[in-house]
Amino acid sequence: MTALANFLLPVIDPGSVQPEGAIVEIIERTDDPDPMVLVPNEVRIQGHKLLASADHPVTVHEVSTIGRDIVYVTLTLLAKRVTFTSEPTA
């Protein structure tokens, strides 16, 4: 299953309907204090560690600093369960 990490998550305040972008961390956990090249081996969204496939690398799309503060990231994640449902808006 491919998921876009820039999906919209609800703000913590349940009374708010304003979505916000996700916080995505792509990390190399290493003992090397100054690595020359980063080889990510951990992915977190909103601080939660996720299982990612070594066969499907993380893709960070071109970053433009002109008038944008959003970065698009494509991840392939291993899901324990996927649910499609509807919820009331009120």
- DSSP H helices, the chain, are none
Task: Note whether 3 and 75 are within 8 A (CB).
Answer: yes
For 34-76, what is each residue's pLDDT tens digit?
A: 888 888 888 898 999 988 777 877 777 777 667 666 777 888 8
pLDDT at 84: 92
At residue 83 the predicted structure's pLDDT band, cuts being 50, 70 and 90, is very high
- Label residues 32-46 b or e (16+ Cβ within 10 Å = b): eeeeeeeeeeebebe
Tens of pLDDT, residues 17-28: 577 788 889 888
pLDDT above 50: residue 2: no
- More confident site: 89 or 64: 89
The angle formed by the CA atoms of residues 29, 34 and 36, to the nearest 5 degrees, is: 90
